[in-house]
Amino acid sequence: MTPPIVAVIGGGQLARMMAPAATALGITLRVLVESDQAAAAASSHEAVIGLPTDPDAVARLLAAPHPDVVTWEHEHIPAEVVEACEAAGVPARPGLGALRFAQDKIDMRARMDELGLPNPAWRQVSTASDLEAFLAEHGTAVLKTARGGYDGKGVRVVSSAAQARDWLDAAANGGPRLLVEAKVPFTRELAAQVARRPSGETRTWPVVESIQRDGVCSEVTAPAPGLSAERSAQARAIAERIATELDVTGVLAVELFETDAGLVVNELAMRPHNSGHWTIDGAVTSQFEQHLRAVLDLPLGDTAPLAPWTVMANVLGGTRASLGEALGEVADPGAKIHLYGKGVRPGRKVGHVTVTGADARETYDRAVAAAAIVRDGGAA
Ligand SMILES: Nc1ncnc2c1ncn2[C@@H]1O[C@H](COP(=O)(O)OP(=O)(O)OP(=O)(O)O)[C@@H](O)[C@H]1O
Ligand SMILES: [Mg+2]
């Protein structure tokens, strides 16, 4: 058998982090990157430069020797592109039938209701009076664009329709559809990750706690500290059920809220996800290796953790012009530094640091301290 070729659409850090796993497995990673400066451009075995919306670029990605499969590192893939891949005889994984529930939060909420999975109260809103009616019933709520959001963009807490006028106007003029959700009184945010291959095998990783700051993931602790065995099993079962019912292939992350009353689904990501970066250094099989295995329908790897605790702290862009000098400044020999090769802009995800250890608090503190040094040499 010739070595498999996996095509990836999207050239950010997620595609970049697939490369070491592909190299280890002898898989050729061919990535469609937006420019030769993209995070995945230098790391990929083959980089094709172009936009996913450009049919010629997609054709070059799929050209001979043909990839065995095509996958995505983000959800913003037009349906025509997925269809073009299938039409060219290259299986798209996850396929459109699954992907649309990660692309569109209205479709996702409706599907969770159909499956009887725990949703917040929600409704689609087209007008100010739709929104006022929901707010009258539920109080302050969370308004979202159904499509196109990431890192908290496309999410706004509102207590009156006046605060949503711009989005309502945009929606009325061909912009993204809107939905409103009751504001969930969560005690913390969790994520459950699962991989599923086309033949049906699934494997879940330990459930993690994720801390968001200003709508952006800041730290992830694996496993979620103090999570009861029952809730952990529930979260893993929810992720497996979604993966199976939606026919997801590849890695799925289910973002969850934990409340005093139980778990609530927040959203789905059908690709490696920030909540799973800890698996590179903290699990037998990383989410990136597992995604490649899953989309190629290979046996899935062990998801067991390698240490009692693993903490991943994001490096969100700070004051440095370039992060290279940071490598010399982190003295903690257990701090695993991952830099994405991206230009630094304030708040931008430019890298992460992972630390494993025997004590949750100490491991957390070390990861946060090292990430702060990478960011700007300073305190967290
Ligand atoms: N219904 C809700 N109730 C309370 N908080 C919410 C609700 N929905 C979202 N949030 C908060 O806003 C954050 C971002 O929301 P969401 O995950 O839907 O947006 P996103 O921008 O698509 O996400 P990501 O940052 O994962 O790409 C959540 O992690 C959570 O902190
Ligand atoms: Mg989210």
pLDDT in the model for residue 311: 99
Which residues, judged by CB distance below 6 Å to any ligand atom, belong to the binding site of ligand 1? Answer: 120, 142, 144, 149-155, 181, 183-184, 189, 212, 215, 255, 266-267
pLDDT in the model for residue 378: 78
Take atom 30 of ligand 1 and give the residue whose Cα is closest. 215
- Give the max Cα distance, the chain: 62
Torsion, Cα of 19, 24, 30, 33 (10° steps): 10
Ligand 1: centre distance to CA 134 (Å)? 18
C-beta of residue 84 within 8 angstroms of C-beta of residue 58: yes
User: CA Rg, the chain, in Å?
Assistant: 20
pLDDT in the model for residue 215: 86
E strands in the chain: 5-9, 28-33, 46-49, 69-72, 122-125, 141-145, 155-158, 178-182, 188-196, 202-204, 208-213, 216-222, 250-259, 262-269, 309-316, 336-339, 349-357
The SS3 call for residue 191 is: strand
Letter for the amino acid at 305? P
Domains within the chain, CATH numbers bracketed: 5-92 (3.40.50.20), 121-182 (3.30.1490.20), 188-376 (3.30.470.20)
Global pTM value: 0.97
Q: Cα–Cα distances in Å, from 354 out to 21, 40, 297, 332? A: 17, 20, 29, 11
Ligand 1: centre distance to CA 203 (Å)? 25
Count of Cβ atoms closer than 10 Å to residue 74 Cβ: 18
The SS3 call for residue 314 is: strand
Q: What is the pLDDT along the chain (380 residues), one digit of tens a residue?
A: 789 999 999 999 999 999 999 999 999 999 999 999 999 999 999 999 999 999 999 999 999 999 999 999 999 899 999 999 999 999 999 999 999 999 999 999 999 999 999 999 999 999 999 999 999 999 999 999 999 887 778 999 999 999 999 999 999 999 999 999 999 999 999 999 999 999 999 999 999 999 999 889 999 999 999 999 999 999 999 999 999 999 999 999 999 999 999 999 999 999 999 999 999 999 999 999 999 999 999 999 999 999 999 999 999 998 898 999 999 999 999 999 999 999 999 999 999 999 999 999 999 999 999 999 999 997 65
What gap in Å lies between CA 168 and CA 54, rounded to an integer? 30
Ligand 2: centre distance to CA 193 (Å)? 13
